[in-house]
Structure 1
Amino acid sequence: MSIWKGVRFTHRFSELSSAFFTNIAPQPLDNTRWVAWNRELALQFGLPEHAGDEVLNVFSGQEDFAPFFPLAMKYAGHQFGVYNPDLGDGRGLLLAEMQHKDGTWFDIHLKGAGLTPYSRMGDGRAVLRSTVREYLCSEAMAGLGIPTTRALGMMDSDTPVYREKMEYGALLIRLAETHIRFGHFEHFFYTNQLSEQKLLADKVIEWHFPQCLAVEKPYAEMFECIVDKTAVMIAYWQAYGFAHGVMNTDNMSILGQTFDYGPFGFLDDYDPNYICNHSDYQGRYAFEQQPRVALWNLSALAHALSPLIEREDLEAALGKFEVRLSQKFSELMRAKLGLHTKVSDDGRLFETMFELLHQNKTDYTRFFRELSCLDINSPQAVIDLCIDREAASAWLDRYLARCELEVDEQGECVSVESRCAKMRQANPKYILRNYLAQLAIDKAEEGDFSEVNRLAELLKRPYDEQMEWDEYAKLPPEWGKKMEISCSS
C-alpha cells in the first residue's frame, strides 16, 4: 500500500499567471537526513506516523513527485518601514497544497530549498540553528493556542553553508493555510498590476473568506477580516509575552497567523522595551511596539488595497483594530488572572501588576503560573519572585480580595480550587525560552537531535504538570536572559 494513499493534494496558486511566481525545482542538499518528524500533525493529513526514506526523498526534493508543483512566490514589502520591491521566496518553495482531515487546505512550503530568482545576494539556504528555532517555536505556539503556521518536519545535511561561520544546510517543511502576505498586495499595487491585484483579492476571498461574497462590499469586508485576525494575533503575542522581532509587511500573514520565525523571543524578566533582534537598533520591533507596528502594517496594506476599497471603508476597518486588540487582550488577561467578571477598579489592578513586574524584573511566565497555583502553593511563592516583597505582598492582597468578588453563572462565589484550575489552562508552565532552544541547537549541531525532539514533545502540552520535565520550567540562567538573536539564517 502506498504511503501516499488517502493524502489529497492540489495546487491552486500555481494556476495563477506567471506574474505571481516562478516555477523552480528544489536544489537537494547532500546526505539529507531527518532531524524531526511531527507525527501528530502528519496523521492529521493522512501521512505516515513514522517517516522513512521515501518521505524524506520526496519532501527534500531529491525525487520528483507528481503531486508537487514547486514554485517561488513573488511579493514585496516594507522592511523596517522602508519599501523594498525586490522580495519574494528567496530560499523557500511552495510545493503544493495538502488537505487536512477537517477539509482545510494547507500549503506545503520547503524552506531552505536553494536559489530562486528572488534570492538577491543570498544563497537560498537555511542553516540548522534557525531551522530548529522555527520548528520548535511554531509548535510551541500551537501548543499555547496562539495562531501560527506549523512545522511538519525538519532535515539537516552535509552541505556547508557560510554565515558568520561555516554551518550546515537544513530544510523545514512548513504548513500554513496560506503563504499570502501583506507584501503580495503591495507588489501588485506598486508595480501597477491592478488586474493581478484584483485577481489575488478575488482568490483570497474564494479560498479564505467566502463569507465576504454575501455582502455588498466584499473587498472591504475582506480587509476588515484581515484587520480582525491581525488584532487577535497581536493580542495573543502581548498576553503571552512573545516578541516576533521582524514585523516587516512581508512577514505578515493575511490570516493573522504567526509567520516567519526568526529572531523571536519570549519574555523572561518582564520588560516592555524588550528587543530580541540585535539588528533592530532603533527598537522598532520592541515588545511593547508590536501593536503599533501591526497597525502601521495594516495601514500599508490599506494603501495597497486603495484601488479596490474606498478610503472611508479602509479607515473604518483600521479604526476597529485597537478596539478588537483591546477586547481580545482583556479577555486573555482576565483568563490568566481568573477574573472573568468586570469590576470598576480592575483597570488599576492590571496597571499596578504590570508596574510591579517591570520594576522588579519579574519573570513573566513564572509569575502567572504561580498565581494559578495558589490553591496548592503558598502565596510566598509569588511574593518571592519580586525584589520588593512588600510591594508584591500588597498587590497580592489586593488581587486576592478582588478574587473574592468572582461569582459563577449560578451567582455562587468561585472557589480558589475552581479558579486556579481554570487559570492553569491559561498560564503555561513551559515555554520555549531562548536558552532552551540554544541548548537544543548546540546538541543538534553535534549530531544529537534528542533535545530538539524532547522539547517539541514537551511544548505540545505546555499547560500540563509534566513532573518528569520540571527542569524545563526553571527560571533561566543569567546568560540565557534577553538573548539577542540574529536575522542571519
Structure 2
Amino acid sequence: MSVATEVSLDGKTAVDTGLGWVNRYAALGPAFHTALPPQPLPAPYWVGQSRAVGRALGLPEDWTHSQDLLQAFSGNRPLAGSQSVATVYSGHQFGVWAGQLGDGRALLLGETESGLELQLKGAGRTPYSRMGDGRAVLRSSIREFLCSEAMHGLGIPTTRALCVTGSDAPIRREEIETAAVVTRVAPSFIRFGHFEHFAANDQPEELRRLADFVIDHYYPACRGTDKFAGNAYAALLEAVSERTAALLAQWQAVGFCHGVMNTDNMSILGLTLDYGPFQFLDGYNPAHICNHSDTQGRYAYGRQPNIAYWNLFCLGQALLPLIGEQELALAALESYKTVFPAELEQRLRAKLGLQASRPEDRALVEGILKLLAQERVDHTIFWRRLSHYAGDAQAAPVRDLFLDRTALDDWLKQYDARLALEDGARAAATMLGTNPKFILRNHLGELVIRQAREKDFSGVARLLALLENPYAEHPGHEAEAGFPPEWATSIEISCSS
C-alpha cells in the first residue's frame, strides 16, 4: 500500500495513508480542546524516522520515502480523516499551582483504528501557548525522538516517536536555533493535569465525562470492581497509582532522571511523558539534578519516587468530587507505598541476577548502592560489567571502577556466596537482559545534534539502531558504550526547548 493524496472537504490537499481514524478524544467536545490546524513548517526535511513505530501504526513500508508524509508530519498537509486539536489542562509546576496550561505547541491529530494517537509537537502556536511561539527546536526534538525509542528499547512504558522533521526556519531561545516537529505516538496523551483542570474550574460534568472516558477505554476493569464499595473512580485512582509506582521503579533501576515531574507531565496511563531536560545517570548519585532550571533540586533522581506520590495525591484531590469520600481516595493511593518498593526490589534483584527473594538480598543491594554512591561509579557501566562477572568470575573489570577495592572485594564475597545459590548461566543471562550496554547519554545526544545542525542525520539513525536494542553487544560500537568524556559534564539541560 502506498501513500496517496486526496482533496478534503475544505479544499486542502490531504494525505491518505489508509489509516482509519476514530478521533474519540475530539468527540468529547469543545470544553476539552480547541480545534485548529497545524502551522506549516517551511521547507521541511527528514531528520529521523522509526520504522518500528511505523509498523505499529500500520503505515506502508515505503512511508520513510514519502514526500506527502514529510509534509503531513511537518504540519503542512492534513492527514485524511484526522481532526487536529489542542487539549486544555492545568497543573502544578515545581510544586506550585500554575493554573490553566494546555497543549501550547502540540496538536493531537486523533486516534487511529490501531488504538494509537498521533500528536505533532512543535506545530505552532495554540490558545494555550502562553506567550510562546508554539515551536520546538531541532536540539530538543532529536533528544525526545531518541529517548522515546530508547525507553521503549529498555522495556519502560513510554510515549513513542515516529519521526522528526526539520526546517531552517529560525527559532529564538537562548540563541537562534532551527525549528523541528516531532510526531509522537501513544495510546493516550491524557495527563493528571487534564483532571486537575476540570476539578479546579468546578466543572463536575466534564470531570466525570473525562474519567468515564478513561475508564471505559483504558481501565475497563474498574467497572464492577468489588473494591472500594464498587466505586469505579477510586478504583481508577488505585490503578493509576500502581502503574505509576511500577514506572518509577523502572526509572530508578535504570538510572533515568525525568527532570520536570510536574503534574501536567504525568501520564494517566503510567507512561514516560514529555522528554525535556531528562538524563540517564553517569556516576551514581541519588542527589543528581539533571535540569539546570531546577535550582531547588525538587526533581533530583533520588526524590522522584516521592514526587510521583505527591503528584498522585494531586490527582486524588482532583478526582475527589467523583470518589466522594476522602477515606476512599486515600485508600486508593495506599497501594503506591507497597507496589513501588516491591517493584524496585524485584528489579534490583534482577540486576544482580537473583531469581527468588532471600532475606540477605536487601543488605546486598543496599551495600552496593552505598559503594556506588560513595565513589560516583558509572551506573550503567558498573551493572553491565557485573553482568559479565556473573558469567566468567573475572573481577578485574569491576574492581577497576573503584578506588576502595577492599570494600568492593568484601561485597563481592557476599555476592559470590549469594550467587552460588543461583543457576550461574541463568543469572548471567538475566543480568545481560536487564542491565543495558547502551543508554542515551547526554554527550551521545549532543554529538548527533551537532552533526544534524550540519544536515548530517546519519548519527541520528546510527544511535537509534543502538538504542532500539540496548542489551545487545553491537560489536564495533564500544565507544558509544564507554565512559562520558570530560566535556560532557559541562552540558546543561534546561526547560528551554
Q: What TM-score results when the alignment is normalised by the length of structure 2?
A: 0.94
Root mean square deviation, CA, Å: 1.2
Matched, 1:399 2:407: no
Unaligned runs of 5+ in 2: 4-15
CA-CA distance at 1:2 after TM superposition: 4.2
SS of 2:397 mapped into structure 1: helix
Letter in 1 for 2:162: L
Candidates 76, 96, 115, aligned match of 2:90: 76
Task: Find the aligned partners of 1:42 and 1:14 in 2 and give their Cα distance.
Answer: 23
Distance 1:99 1:471 in 2: 42
**Deviation digits for residues 393-437 of structure 1, max 9, x if unmatched?**
11112111111122xxxxxxx1x2231122100010111111101
Question: Conserved in 1, the CA contact under 8 Å of 2:117 and 2:187?
Answer: yes
Provide the residue aligned with 1:358 in structure 2.
373
**1:87-102 to 2 correspondences below 5 Å:** 87-100=101-114
Cα distance in structure 2, aligned partners of 1:64 and 1:332: 43
Whichever structure has more helix as a proportion of its residues is 2
Counterpart residue number, 1:340: 355
Q: Cα offset for 1:213?
A: 1.5
Q: Which residue of 1 aligns with 2:445?
A: 437
The correspondence of residues 82-121 of structure 1 with structure 2, limited to 5 A, is 82-100=96-114, 105-121=115-131
CA contact (8 A) 2:349 2:361 kept: no
Q: 1:447 to 1:377 in 2, by over 3 A?
A: farther
1:409 aligns to what? none
Distance in 1 separating the partners of 2:445 and 2:2:
36
Residue 383 of structure 1 corresponds to 399
Pairing 1:44–2:59 present: no
Aligned to 2:176: 166
Change (3 A) 1:18 1:271: same
Secondary structure at the aligned position of 2:116 is classed as strand
Instruction: Give the number of equivalent residue pairs.
Output: 477
Q: 1:180 aligns to what?
A: 190
Among 9, 16, 22, the residue aligned to 2:34: 22
Residue 137 of structure 1 corresponds to 147
- 1:418 matched to 2:433? The reply is no
Q: Is the 8 A contact 1:268 1:481 kept in 2?
A: no
- Aligned partners of 2:490 and 2:168: how far apart in 1? 32
* The one of 266, 289, 294 aligned to 1:280: 294
Partner of 2:23: 11
Aligned to 1:448, which of 456, 469, 481?
A: 456
Please list the CA deviations of residues 37-76 of structure 1 after superposition, one character each: whole Å capped at 9, or x if unmatched. Answer: 1112202222023321011122222123331111000000
CA distance in 2, matches of 1:166, 1:284: 30
Which consecutive segments of 4 or more residues in structure 1 shift more than 3 A? 481-484
Matched position secondary structure for 2:322: coil
Partner deviation per Cα, 1:51-103 (whole Å, 9 max, x = no partner): 21011122222123331111000000000011111300000100111233xxx
Q: What's 1:457 paired with?
A: 465
Confirm or deny: 8 A CA contact 1:274 1:482 kept in the other structure. Answer: no
Q: Is the 8 A contact 1:38 1:151 kept in 2?
A: yes
1:322 aligned to 2:322?
A: no
Distance 1:300 1:482, change over 3 A: farther
- Name the amino acid aligned to 1:24: L
How does 1:463-482 map onto structure 2 within 5 Å?
Answer: 463-481=471-489
Structure 1 window deviating more from structure 2 (345-354 vs 42-51): it is 42-51
1:189 equivalent in alignment to 2:205: no
Asked if 1:487 is matched to 2:488, the reply is no
Identity %: 49
Supply the distance in 1 between the matched residues of 2:272 and 2:457 (Cα, whole angstroms). Answer: 25
- Once residues 22 and 467 of structure 2 are traced to their aligned partners in structure 1, the CA distance between those partners, rounded to angstroms, is 31
